[in-house]
Structure 1
Amino acid sequence: MAEPFTPPSSILIVGSGVFGLSTAYALTRRPEWAQTAITVLDRSSGGEFPAKDSSSIDSSRIVRADYADRAYAHLAAVAQDEWRKPGADSWGGEGRYAETGFVICADAGPEVRPDGMRTGLGFAKSAYVNALELAEKEGLPEGSVVELRGREAIKQASGTGAPFGDWGYLNKRSGWANAEKSMKFLYDRVVAAGRVKFVAAAVERLEIQGKRVTGAKLQNGTSLSAELVMVAAGAWTPSLVDLRGQAVATGQVIAYTDISDEEQARLANVPVLMNMTNSNFMITPSNNVVKIGRHAYGYQNPKTVSTALVVPKNEKDSVFPEIVVSQPYTHVDDAKLWVPAEGERDLRQGLRSMVPWPELKDRPWTHSRICWYTDTATGDFVITYHPHWEGLFIATGGSGHGFKFLPVLGDKIADTIEKHCPAEFQDKWSWKEVTDIEKAIVTEDGSRGGKVGLLLMDELRKNGSRL
């Protein structure tokens, strides 16, 4: 029988994004953690939490239970119950959440590839089955989830007159949330708890004594120590802990364009739109801005680093050897950073296909962004104790779909810290056995499109005019 869990005297949470900040909040609400000193550390230079180039700091994120995987679908449904609650003190209050619906579609073709993996159509068909099951479970009226057979049905459901797929469905119970405002809401709640110390500093590397992780050495030369260290640094996590074979940082393209008051009024209540085959999506426009994104295989940015804690093969081996890691490169690194021409072309095509209005066809982008995912091969999160290093807990691998779980994820992570990982996620969130750490991680859950193996710096060096 497992020994009862005793909370540590102190916990250092590296990262204040969705995983880190939600965990800090969950711990402040657990009486058994009342004597634990909780510190949240982030690399923010201006004192903002999360850092301003964190993937969760953005205008909008899709909130949906439309998953091909049943476990995630059911957990997302629980999160949605929280998003829907009214009032300023609720997650979705004060306009943070809007349930405008979600049209998820795909192009015609096979549902399964020759290698047995789902296609975009296969993902959409499986998500439809789970959406129907949830609708029945919740006793929703008929018509809450509507199958869209053919391009004309998709055109009518889109709200924009866009036949942007061959088969799909409309889930009226999905929507979107203002990500940045939601993170600010969570941060304010954590601060109000009066239990958490926030430290704005960049981590150079983790510190160890023998096989135990004892804290973090900061780039300013100081150190922070704790009995338990949790690394939840998003796409920066693989630069601190060797995650080769587990997770990799990938950059995804997003672009924005301004619209008039009249155009905003026409688009204010259209559903979130996504084609699973080409991976383009549009979240319901707000504040006179249209946002187009691509949920793709993404760009990698491989760099040689000696900051990631590696399990040594032999006693004399360094625990911080030089390894190659894909690292984020954001507008904080380069204020003039613009998405590569390859990605911009896809985003332009996405805008034209989802909002086929002549006046928007060539509307210039006002700005663009590279959003950094922490991808795993299956799209599952990595939420577990490290199998080798004592005192080290990992919470990462959001794979571009973690934000929607914000109201419930912290408690699930806290449960897992307490060694009560939800049964349906024990395998999914576990540390995987890796036979080839050099093998490229490609997320093959059926939700991705685009090209595999794109390198960010190569694409940025290529010439190409903005479309």
Structure 2
Amino acid sequence: MSAPDHLYSNPFFFLHFQFPSPTSTPLPSYSCFHFHFHLRAHSPSDHLSSRRPSPSPFSTTAKPPSSLNENGPPPSSILIVGAGVFGLSTALSLARSPALPRSTTITVLDRSPQPGVFPSRDASSIDTSRIIRADYADPAYAALAAEAQEIWRQPDGPGADGRYNETGLIITTNNTTKKASGIDYARSSWDNVRALAAHDPALSAKIEELPSPAAIRGAYGTGGGSGEWGYINRRSGWADAEACMDWLYAQVRATGRVTFVNGTAASLVCSTYNRRTPQVRGVKLAGSNGKELLADLTVLATGAWTGGLINLSGRAVATGQVLAYMDLTDEEQAKLANVPTLLNLSSGYFIITPANKTLKVARHAYGYLNPTTTTAGAAVGNTTFSAPTTHLTDPPTQSIPPADEAALRAAVREMVPLPELHDRPFKATKLCWYTDTADGDFIIDYHPDYRSLFLATGGSGHGFKFLPVIGDRIAATMFGRCPEAFRGKWSFRKDGSERAAAWDKVVTEDGSRGGVPGLILREEMNKSGDKKTSRL
């Protein structure tokens, strides 16, 4: 089933997806390196260069294309940094767009250390599962997620071959007056789901309010539960995240238009467009003896690593979220294979329907900060940012704080009261790194202070579900056609307040987070217990 036709008659959505059948890392610096040169078009073999480029076909008096929404010649080359959901989806939409000349080259750079593997295996989108839901407190995201779900269900789309499973979702809250307790978010989400159901009989038959703990336990089906009020939406589910990303990568490659490069962007390469405005020319690669990857237009889809390339102080911050995994027997997997995902918005704890004999328990919380200092940040006024630490950037000690491991185990005991699971060791733990914004809105916009730089970041822990549709929206925004419902939400600078805010003062207060904001990862890791648990 496709999304309603009227959505695609809207000029903002002219890039409608039609999916065919599937046939220790150096810390990046922040500085713009300033050179004075003109761009030329690059062939795929030409992208890596330590030389200054030869003169551009653009004259010194003509304005080089800094975006896709200006009059004049389109960019001859586009560089997308990051091969996560936002990056690969954007590459696919641009490669298929009739509005982009075939002569425009598209290159995707990703920090993956494995040749031919995209994205890096420590990317936030690489995991056993992600929740797929249209259950949002914000009507705009609810509508966009509902559209995405229609594509998830298609037999030849990203959810085919068992990648998407519609086992249902229970959202609950605790009865408390505590700020950001999840109650307001959950009730607004319930209202929006009912509004969608009013026009969708299939959905209407699949949603039910759960007004008590007993009702929650009854709907969950394990004998356990969490929360005191909630609802179930049996038209929501989960996706095998890693398998979906592998599928998406294959789709992009199949276009024949996109060149993939393994490497880490260390900094932006800039020239001076005028006396005050730097123009981004691409990126300098880490550990490459000064090699640069150059393009007319650079797109940063770098997720939690974005703060190492551009100043995001007051706008977004990388936060680490805890996850743990437990082996199941064949019998245990059979018992739990069809239970819904359960998410308590007051505590943040959730368990996604187990698959492949693995139970995953996690927390959607304020997360942990990992402050990192650089001496290269003066050019953009940022010397401290929160940097991801993963099993690839910080082996072999990357894990989760001891208190979180105990809390995740308590969540398993509450939600899945099978005694044989309660003391079973986790086979792996890890941190998933969000790029959080204050309101949970994405950042999909041209940077106001740099020419030729577009940002597609700020996923805030809820971007994956939009995989089937977000690339079209990003591409539309690049062409100056941001969807009306998101014009204010996705802008880089909504007002002037972000400029003065410190890097660590961004806290996502959309009502969906549990825990305590502002915790420092290394401090929590050092408090007590064994820090060295297994990891993915």
Is contact 1:255–1:369 with CA below 8 Å preserved after alignment?
yes
Match of 2:490 in 1: 429
Match of 1:38 in 2: 106
Matches within 5 A, 1:207-286: 207-210=269-272, 211-219=278-286, 220=288, 221-286=290-355
Match of 1:140 in 2: 202
Stretches of structure 2 lacking an aligned partner (at least 5 in a row): 1-68, 273-277
Partner SS for 1:446: coil
Aligned mates of 2:170, 2:307 — CA distance in 1? 34
Partner SS for 1:263: helix
Aligned mates of 1:192, 1:13 — CA distance in 2? 17
Aligned mates of 1:142, 1:324 — CA distance in 2? 49
Amino acid at match of 1:379: G
Is contact 1:5–1:418 with CA below 8 Å preserved after alignment?
no
Aligned mates of 1:188, 1:274 — CA distance in 2? 32
Match of 2:216 in 1: 154
Match of 1:461 in 2: 526
The equivalent position to 2:460 in structure 1, one of 394, 399, 409, is 399
Is contact 2:173–2:181 with CA below 8 Å preserved after alignment?
no
Partner SS for 1:413: helix
The equivalent position to 2:158 in structure 1, one of 88, 91, 94, is 91
Change (3 A) 1:222 1:3: closer
Is contact 1:304–1:323 with CA below 8 Å preserved after alignment?
yes
Change (3 A) 1:62 1:322: closer
Aligned mates of 1:123, 1:102 — CA distance in 2? 15
Match of 1:22 in 2: 89
Which of 285-294 and 131-140 deviates more?
131-140
Match of 2:50 in 1: none
Match of 1:380 in 2: 441
Q: Deviations over 1:312-366 (max 9, x none)?
A: xxxxxx5255510000001112134221112212211211111122111111100
Change (3 A) 1:359 1:5: farther
Q: CA deviation at 1:5?
A: 7.7
Q: CA deviation at 1:96?
A: 0.3
Match of 1:451 in 2: 516
Amino acid at match of 1:208: C
Amino acid at match of 1:174: S
Aligned mates of 1:397, 1:213 — CA distance in 2? 20
Aligned mates of 1:409, 1:343 — CA distance in 2? 32
Aligned mates of 1:423, 1:141 — CA distance in 2? 26
Partner SS for 2:238: strand
Is contact 1:12–1:228 with CA below 8 Å preserved after alignment?
yes
Is contact 1:103–1:273 with CA below 8 Å preserved after alignment?
yes
Matches within 5 A, 1:1-400: 4=71, 7-33=74-100, 34-47=102-115, 48-86=117-155, 89-110=156-177, 113=179, 118-140=180-202, 142-210=204-272, 211-219=278-286, 220=288, 221-306=290-375, 318-320=378-380, 323-332=383-392, 333-400=394-461
Partner SS for 1:209: strand
Q: Deviations over 1:361-390 (max 9, x none)?
A: 111100111100000000000000000100
Change (3 A) 1:335 1:153: same
Amino acid at match of 2:434: Y
Aligned mates of 2:441, 2:425 — CA distance in 1? 36
Is contact 1:239–1:307 with CA below 8 Å preserved after alignment?
no
Change (3 A) 1:378 1:141: closer
Change (3 A) 1:322 1:155: closer
Amino acid at match of 1:257: M
Is contact 1:26–1:410 with CA below 8 Å preserved after alignment?
yes
Partner SS for 2:426: coil
Is contact 2:194–2:204 with CA below 8 Å preserved after alignment?
no
Amino acid at match of 1:328: P
Change (3 A) 1:32 1:435: closer
Q: CA deviation at 1:305?
A: 2.0
Kindly report the root-mean-square deviation, in angstroms, between the aligned alpha carbons of the 2 structures: 1.6
Is contact 1:306–1:320 with CA below 8 Å preserved after alignment?
no
Q: CA deviation at 1:437?
A: 2.4
TM-score by length of 1: 0.93
Which of 423-432 and 335-344 deviates more?
335-344
Stretches of structure 1 lacking an aligned partner (at least 5 in a row): 309-317
Match of 2:56 in 1: none
